Amino acid sequence: MLRFLGEKAAAKRQVLNADSVEQSFVGLKQLISCRNWRAAVDLCGRLLTAHGQGYGKSGLLTSHTTDSLQLWFVRLALLVKLGLFQNAEMEFEPFGNLDQPDLYYEYYPHVYPGRRGSMVPFSMRILHAELQQYLGNPQESLDRLHKVKTVCSKILANLEQGLAEDGGMSSVTQEGRQASIRLWRSRLGRVMYSMANCLLLMKDYVLAVEAYHSVIKYYPEQEPQLLSGIGRISLQIGDIKTAEKYFQDVEKVTQKLDGLQGKIMVLMNSAFLHLGQNNFAEAHRFFTEILRMDPRNAVANNNAAVCLLYLGKLKDSLRQLEAMVQQDPRHYLHESVLFNLTTMYELESSRSMQKKQALLEAVAGKEGDSFNTQCLKLA
């Protein structure tokens, strides 16, 4: 803002920071919901300092609580979300492989009498495993995910044999056991999903597709979405025939579901199939059909505009994207839409710089401190 619009415009930008919210989980939720992720990272640091952890406490004896570990997880997840992978790795370091004795309830019998097991949030384990792929070590990520998968499978097997999670004798009710089984099944599905994403990143498409198939076993209600995803992977690697087969499977599965979502998914797949065949007129027809049923569908809107561009209708394409952004800035001002819009400005006009700066001003009024301004191509 300072660089492109000057001090006066920059001073008008009001954004929440770590000082302007309640110094608690409530304030943290507020910052995250407004997408002020950098401020949220700062607030996590302050709250951890209040717990006797964080800055300057490295190497000192600390007491973990469920709250302090939840704060660490939020902070680390935000660092990953912001793309600060090296920082996240450094902050993960003191936790080792997340299995040190002081991360278990049994280590604090005076605080958690009778409680057993790990205090580390399950999502923190997944994050710890996934982080390595963003640092360029996908194989390390896969190895860590395999370890988590082995533990989940063992716990599930224990529960299904009528034992406690750790293999000891269990005194829980039948209802409690069923709830535990559901929880660990969904966790196992979550690990498989991460493994599939990691394999996709490694471009090992065959194994990735296998892994996505095994996720369906744990999340049967997400079968149409997962099959659609596999179809789109096939499209990306240019295998139109396989994509078509998966999209037909989606159609069969969604016939059992009544409702708008299923119809939109089938139309969306058809649109992407035509895109993959460079048939932009037909793809545009399908995207337009989706917008008739769901006018707020950002994916269809964005892609319909891109189809118009490929059909040589730059002015119409621009009009569609601009109308979309003006109609509901909070809903549509996201990075892929803005990237397309600024690219079209560059194609259309020598005044593209002023138009991009106007977009910057619009974004500044709506977005938090985590917005990636690179999508505006200002530099």
Q: How many CB atoms lie within 10 A of CB 326?
A: 10
Average of per-residue pLDDT across 88-95: 92
Model's pTM, two decimal places?
0.85
Looking at residue 102, what DSSP letter applies? G
pLDDT at 194 over 80: yes
Tens digit of pLDDT for each residue in 301-360?
A: 999 999 999 999 999 988 888 888 877 777 777 788 888 888 888 887 777 888 888 888
The pLDDT confidence band at residue 126, using thresholds 50, 70 and 90, is very high
> pLDDT class for 58, splitting at 50, 70, 90?
low
Dist CA 112 CA 320 (whole Å): 58
In this structure, what is the dihedral angle of CA atoms 125, 226, 189, 99, given to the nearest 10 degrees? -10
Distance CA 335, CA 172 (A): 49
Name 22's Cβ contacts closer than 8 Å, sequence gap at least 6: 30
- Which of the two residues, 20 and 283, has the higher pLDDT score? 283
| Average pLDDT of the segment spanning 13-32 | 86
Whether the CB-CB separation of 225 and 265 falls below 8 Å is answered with: yes
Higher pLDDT, 187 or 323: 187
C-alpha 336/C-alpha 39 separation (Å) is 24
Rounded to 5 degrees, what angle do the CA atoms 118, 124, 127 make?
A: 145
- List the end-to-end C-alpha distance of the chain, in Å, as a whole number: 12
Per the DSSP assignment, residues forming a β-bridge with 104 are: 118
Reported confidence tier of residue 231, pLDDT bands at 50, 70, 90: very high
Enumerate residues 6+ apart whose C-beta is below 8 A from 308: 284, 314, 316, 317, 320
